[in-house]
């Protein structure tokens, strides 16, 4: 608990970055829902559900670490002699609960949601095959982070979480550029025009 009061700004900044990373992961999965085909609605819906729950768990756990655990640690540093043992136990229970919510539950749900999105991407032509399959190891790292947390290897979980979030940031940026290029291509616009024409003909009773 001494690290937190001695590096309070670093602790809270790190927690804030983790929260922003969690929100960006949710936004990425929501964005993929807009570009994937209608026939994958069920899998995409499951992925969005997992991501929303994961984001809630992540924000709850990390915000508790950022504010409540940091405040208790700061009080302990200021009153090192008269800190009640119950307060120390309460602080560690907060930390354990936050780690469970963020590193184990949220990572697992994000990983499963990401795998659902990856499965859909491998079956469409939105991304190149290599880029679509490149999503799989990134989301599997999130699940590995959850498993290692469950097994008690927290340092390994922290490393896996960092690598996974870095990988998600990179793969999201590359996928976003590739998807935007595909959607803006003349072939994509022609396909949209054809679909609109077919819809208009169907609504007019032509078929």
- Using the structure block, give the residue that is written with the tokens 């800190």: 83
pLDDT, mean of residues 17-29 = 91
Structural domain count of the chain? 1
- Is residue 37 pLDDT above 80, yes or no? no
> DSSP of 6-64, one letter per residue?
HTHHHHHHHHHHHHHHHHHHHHHHHHHHHHS-GGGHHHHHHHHHHHHHHHHHHHHHHHH
pLDDT confidence tier of residue 71, bands split at 50, 70 and 90:
confident
Q: Among residues of the chain, what percentage have pLDDT more than 70?
A: 82
Measured N-to-C along each axis, helices 154-183 and 129-151 cross at an angle, to the nearest 10 degrees, of 160
pLDDT (0 to 100) of residue 195: 44
- Structure confidence by residue, pLDDT tens digits, 72-116: 877 766 665 566 677 778 888 888 889 999 999 999 999 999 999
Using only C-alpha atoms, what is the Rg of the chain? 22
CA neighbor of 53 nearest in space, from 123, 109, 129: 109
Q: Is 2 helix (H, G, I), strand (E, B) or coil?
A: coil
Q: Do residues 115 and 123 lie in contact, with contact meaning Cβ atoms separated by under 8 Å? A: no
DSSP secondary structure string, 50-71? HHHHHHHHHHHHHHHIIIIIHH
More confident residue, 34 or 171: 171
Q: What confidence category does residue 185 fall into, taking pLDDT thresholds of 50, 70 and 90?
A: low
Which range marks the domain in which residue 63 is found?
Answer: 3-203
Tell me which of 9-23, 32-46, 109-123, 184-198 is least confident: 184-198
Measured in whole angstroms, how far is the alpha carbon of residue 72 from the centre of its chain? 28
pLDDT value at position 72? 80
Predicted confidence band at 192 (pLDDT cuts at 50, 70, 90)?
A: very low
Averaged confidence pLDDT in the chain: 82
3-state secondary structure of 80: coil
Question: Has residue 206 got a pLDDT over 80?
Answer: no
């Amino acid at each position: 608990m001494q690290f937190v009061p001695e590096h309070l700004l670093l602790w809270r900044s790190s927690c804030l970055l983790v929260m922003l990373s969690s929100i960006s992961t949710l936004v990425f999965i929501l964005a993929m829902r807009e570009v994937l085909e209608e026939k994958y609605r069920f899998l995409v819906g499951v992925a969005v559900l997992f991501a929303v729950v994961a984001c809630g768990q992540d924000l709850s756990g990390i915000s508790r670490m950022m504010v409540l655990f940091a405040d208790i640690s700061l009080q302990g540093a200021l009153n090192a002699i008269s800190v009640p043992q119950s307060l120390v136990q309460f602080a560690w229970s907060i930390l354990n609960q936050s780690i469970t919510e963020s590193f184990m539950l949220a990572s697992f749900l994000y990983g499963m949601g990401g795998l659902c999105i990856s499965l859909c991407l491998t079956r469409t032509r939105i991304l190149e095959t290599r880029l679509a399959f490149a999503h799989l190891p990134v989301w599997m790292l999130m699940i590995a982070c959850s498993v290692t947390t469950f097994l008690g290897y927290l340092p390994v979980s922290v490393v896996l979480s960092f690598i996974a979030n870095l990988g998600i940031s990179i793969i999201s940026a590359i996928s976003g550029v590739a998807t935007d290029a595909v959607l803006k291509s003349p072939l994509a616009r022609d396909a949209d025009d054809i679909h609109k024409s077919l819809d208009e003909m169907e609504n007019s009773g032509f078929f």
